A and B are shown apart, each in its own frame.
Chain A
Amino acid sequence: MTASTELAQTWQRQAQGALVIVKKNAMLYYLKPPVLIFGVLFPVFFFLAFKMGRPIAAENIVPGMVAMALWFTASAVGPLVTPWERQAKTYERLISTPVSLQAILGGDVASGLIFGACLSVVPVGLGLALTDASIVSVVELIGGILLGALSFAALGVLLAAPPASSPSNIMLLSNLVRLPLLFVSGVFVPIDRMPGWARWIAPVSPLSYAGDMIRSGFGRPAYFPAWLSPVMLVAFTVLLFWGAQAFHRRWRAKGL
């Protein structure tokens, strides 16, 4: 067997392993209360709190609503899976299988991506059905949703990396990171209308770029150049995934 055939087989095996992880996560975690509360109820109530009593045309807030829902749903699965599995001691079982840590974490990221991307159909559909909002660029909208979900899911997996005695501690940590970023990412107020300090912080949040692409998809003006947002979302995904792996290895070396 040549080295390239062997490498291809290894990649195939690892990809299959990642798919098994996706299947497991879907069966076990998609309907867990913390995922539903932080991934579905949170964005609904945020939207209502933002919209009610304010003179904003409904179609103007559809892109922000889609981006915010995606932010919460895609990043909700990751922070639950690893802490839950650590507590149930199934994490050790997974890492002693012939599936690599990268494939396991890759499967967790894919779980968040699928969950977020699928549920984003709901706010997009409601926005199109109940308001005058319309899709101008399908590529930018779908690209923004998929790349956004990918980077948000990677963030969720990174947040789940520290060992915690209880999954709720990680959920708290994840909200500590997600909520401040939500307010500086131009979801509620466009970035160009935010105060100067917030405009400086906005580029460090992947939500800013995903929100920008989704806004463009709905025909609203974008803040960042069109090429920058997808590049930054891919870069965020790589960086966050690399960070998650590094943390997992570090804690494992310490026996945690």
Chain B
Amino acid sequence: MTPDNEKTAIEVRGLAKRFGEVQAVAGIDFEVRPGELFGFLGPNGAGKTTTVRMLTGVLEPTDGTAIIQGHDVRAEALLSRAHLGIVPEEANVYLDLSLWQNLMLMAEMHGVPRRQRVHEGERLLKALDLSDRKRHKARTLSKGLRQRLMLCTALVTGPEILFLDEPTSGLDVASARLIRQIVRHLRDQGLTVFLTTHNMDEAEEMCSRVAIINQGRIVAIDAPERLRSAMRCSQYLEVALAGDEADTAELERLPGILRLSREGTCVRLYSEQPGRLAAEVVALAKTKGLEIVHLCTRKPSLEDVFLYFTGDHAQEREQ
């Protein structure tokens, strides 16, 4: 293990995957620090799942490699997989086994000693409120409960890195909240978490850093707050005037407007200085005798950042 590797839980170097003519992942590089809750975002087909499948040993990279806890996923595949716990989007538990059998099976596959796996199994079932269903077949569980069981089976192996793929997608509020709560708790205890999600609020709330992947390339990587701040051009002023259409033209002529969009009855005026623009709008309304129904400045959300890097503007930017 090199000193550099000691500083990273996951180190991805030029990782690429090609399926025939399709370049699913095009040589990406990033690092995840120990104890970090790292978000991995991207639209469908961007290369998120392929990346995760390469990191977890399901797929062999076409090029490049990744180091997991100091072990190369290609050269030391078994050692690198020994450190992982995985919760896929679709809970793939053995439906005909009981909750307890599912837990013990996964712990045995990771070589967890008997005493330790029994103790951890009991503890985790209790923590995820599944103790009373211990002997039930997994088939009898709802989607939310199956996802909790998946989290148990991932954690019973004592992983150093937890991969979560859309862990709360389609879950009821209680299950989603419980899973988020536990993941935060694990992060606070120092577990490294690699979270793939479409839920921007979840990523913004939980992740210390996020990477955005689009068309197989990492297009942005930083703390959510810093990504938002860096996008000054995506700050905007939201205005609603009484009696609208004609007024849009007046608004468009105001100085410092980068672009304008209409959202229902509101108009969004994008500007690097939305505060100053607000004063201009008030002055315009006064001069023209317009009534302002709604006026507020907004910073870009992580969703705006995501759309900026992956939506229509992504191609424009590249050009």
CB within 8 Å of B: which residues of A? 10, 13, 16-17, 20, 23-24, 27-28, 88-90, 92-100, 249, 252-255
Tell me which residues across on chain B come within 8 A of A89, comparing CB atoms.
Answer: 88, 90, 92
Partner pick for A252 among B50, B59, B92, B108, CB 8 A cutoff: B59
Establish whether residues B60 and A97, one from each chain, have CB atoms under 8 Å apart when the complex forms. no
Tell me which residues across on chain A come within 8 A of B81, comparing CB atoms.
Answer: 96-98
Establish whether residues A28 and B94, one from each chain, have CB atoms under 8 Å apart when the complex forms. yes
Which of B32-40, B95-103, B237-245, B295-303 lies at the binding interface?
A: B95-103
Q: List 8 extra interface pairs beyond A97-B110, A98-B110, A255-B24, CB under 8 A.
A: A23-B105, A24-B94, A28-B97, A92-B88, A93-B88, A96-B86, A97-B109, A253-B60
Tell me which residues across on chain B come within 8 A of A249, comparing CB atoms.
Answer: 60
B91-127 residues with Cβ-Cβ distance < 8 A to A are 92-97, 101, 105-106, 108-111
How far, in angstroms, from A95 to B255 measured CA to CA in the complex?
A: 59
B47-66 residues with Cβ-Cβ distance < 8 A to A are 50, 53, 56-60
The size of the chain B interface, using a CB distance under 8 A, is 31
Q: List 12 A-B contacts (CB under 8 A).
A: A10-B78, A23-B105, A23-B108, A27-B96, A28-B94, A92-B53, A95-B57, A96-B56, A96-B58, A98-B109, A98-B111, A255-B19
B13-35 residues with Cβ-Cβ distance < 8 A to A are 19, 24
Partner pick for A27 among B50, B101, B109, CB 8 A cutoff: B101
How far, in angstroms, from A187 to B92 measured CA to CA in the complex?
A: 42
Tell me which residues across on chain A come within 8 A of B105, comparing CB atoms.
Answer: 20, 23-24
Whether B182 sits at the interface, judged by CB under 8 Å, is: no
Tell me which residues across on chain B come within 8 A of A20, comparing CB atoms.
Answer: 105, 108-109
B136-192 residues with Cβ-Cβ distance < 8 A to A are none
Whether B269 sits at the interface, judged by CB under 8 Å, is: no
Establish whether residues B59 and A255, one from each chain, have CB atoms under 8 Å apart when the complex forms. yes
Least Cβ–Cβ distance between A31 and chain B, in angstroms = 10
How far, in angstroms, from A256 to B286 measured CA to CA in the complex?
A: 65
Whether B82 sits at the interface, judged by CB under 8 Å, is: yes
How far, in angstroms, from A176 to B160 measured CA to CA in the complex?
A: 46
Partner pick for A97 among B24, B92, B106, CB 8 A cutoff: B106
Tell me which residues across on chain A come within 8 A of B12, comparing CB atoms.
Answer: none
Closest to A21 in B: B109
Whether B314 sits at the interface, judged by CB under 8 Å, is: no
How far, in angstroms, from A244 to B85 measured CA to CA in the complex?
A: 27
Whether B79 sits at the interface, judged by CB under 8 Å, is: yes
Closest to A92 in B: B58
Tell me which residues across on chain B come within 8 A of A93, comparing CB atoms.
Answer: 86, 88, 92, 106
